[in-house]
Amino acid sequence: MGENKRLRFPFDFKEITEEEKLEIKRLFNYPKIDLIRVGPKDYLMPRAYIEHAENIYNLPIRSSDVYVASFQRAGTTWTQELVWLLANDFDYETALSVPITHRYPFLEIYMLYTEWRKDCLANIDKVESIEKKERILKMLEVMCQPVTEKLAAMPSPRFIKTHLPMSFLPPNIVDTAKVIYIARDARDIAVSSYHHARLFRVLDFIGEFKDFWDIFRSDRFIQSPYFEHVKEAWNLRHHPNMLFLFYEELAKDLPAVVRRVADFLGKEVTEEQMTRLCDHLSFENFKKNKAVNYEDLKEFDIVSPKENFIRRGKAHGWHDYFDEEMTQQADQWIEDSLRDTDLRFPNV
């Protein structure tokens, strides 16, 4: 997309309410979270998104690009690894040695870390080890450099991760590149997002799960509303360049999903390759894989030592968290949210 065809970002921005600001201050310990609403669906985004929205909307798309998209905690990392290995002829040596954050630029991650980066740089002289300073600076480059700049210099094929709704991405994305979208039961997303918000210091959620559930189902968590996010991708599921997956399908029959992804990418998979890939992607092996589990970030105090990025690898684990009232709330919320669509989540 050339500069002469640059498109205006089509959505407006508006401030969150004072009530929402007070709730964020009460439940999130990091004091510099600053959120706004975007567009007619009121997606909740970091304020830094305002500066970069148009650049992302006009991102030049290559026909060889592969995007893995989702709302957070839907099985994104699992899907990324599956896609990358199929597309790269089962290069396990690279997959085990190069962090997935380096293999997949995360399109909007830097927006969350604008203020965090300032804090890190302000305190970097307190770090005595030159080697650790260098590692911190490298980490900040990965987390905080606008990915639009990084992508322009990357060779093809590019593998890109995003949690942005489809309407925020370039309008020609599915006409040009391949997009794999992964969705998951909203109740499991809520549970996993709760732990995620406790894991990453940039959020540092300090409430109980019930507090988080109230926030999540009322569309007051980052990049909510959840169902609008999923429905945007669902409405594109018949496009030949869009593959829509459910987390529950991966959990129930991983080989079947591998075959669907392989067909989508135009790849062949032998039985021997299938066996090794499914073993590599098994939860027990995945949670021990340092290239995908973000354990290295604990060194930089970006993540809490009390939580893990790869948690349980389980579908419908929400039953362990929901009481009867919350279950009834969820049933009604899901019914209301899916009333205008044929989208239904697998009950496995």
pLDDT at 139 over 70: no
Indicate the range of 45-54, 110-119, 146-155, 305-314 predicted with least confidence. Answer: 305-314
User: Which pLDDT tens digit goes with each residue over 179-205?
Assistant: 999 999 999 999 989 988 887 667 788
Q: What is the mean pLDDT of residues 296-313?
A: 50
Indicate the range of 30-44, 155-169, 333-347 predicted with least confidence. Answer: 30-44
My answer on whether omega of the bond before 255 falls inside 30° of 0, hence cis, is: no
pLDDT at 300 over 90: no
- Please give the residue that has the higher pLDDT: either 73 or 122: 73
> Cα–Cα distance between 59 and 2 in angstroms, integer?
10
Report the side by side order of strands in the sheet with 159-162: 159-162, 66-70, 178-183, 242-246
Phi, psi for residue 14 in degrees, rounded to 5:
-145, 155
Q: What is the pLDDT of residue 201?
A: 66
C-beta neighbour count of 266 within 10 angstroms = 9
The upper half-sphere exposure of residue 240, i.e. CA atoms within 13 Å in the direction of its Cβ, equals 3
Q: What is the pLDDT of residue 307?
A: 46
Give the ranges where 123-161 is alpha helix by DSSP (H). 130-144, 147-153
Q: What is the mean pLDDT of residues 275-299?
A: 73
> Cα–Cα distance between 311 and 291 in angstroms, integer?
15
Tokens of 163: 């949690």
Q: What is the pLDDT of residue 195?
A: 87
Q: What confidence tier does 288 reach under pLDDT thresholds 50, 70, 90? A: confident
Q: What is the pLDDT of residue 50?
A: 94
Taking the model in full, what pTM does it have? 0.87
User: Which pLDDT tens digit goes with each residue over 28-74?
Assistant: 877 667 899 999 999 999 998 999 999 999 999 999 999 999 999 89
**With contact defined as beta carbons under 8 Å apart, do 41 and 154 qualify?**
no
Q: What is the DSSP letter of 200?
A: B
pLDDT at 1 over 80: no
Q: What is the pLDDT of residue 2?
A: 46
Q: What confidence tier does 304 reach under pLDDT thresholds 50, 70, 90? A: very low
Indicate the range of 211-215, 223-227, 312-316 predicted with least confidence. Answer: 312-316
Reported as type and span, the H/E element at residue 183 is strand 178-183
> Cα–Cα distance between 161 and 244 in angstroms, integer?
15
Phi, psi for residue 164 in degrees, rounded to 5:
-75, 145
- Average pLDDT over the chain reads 86
Domains of the chain as residue ranges with CATH: 62-337 (3.40.50.300)
pLDDT at 225 over 60: yes
Tell which residue, 162, 159, 180, 178, has the closest CA to residue 103: 159
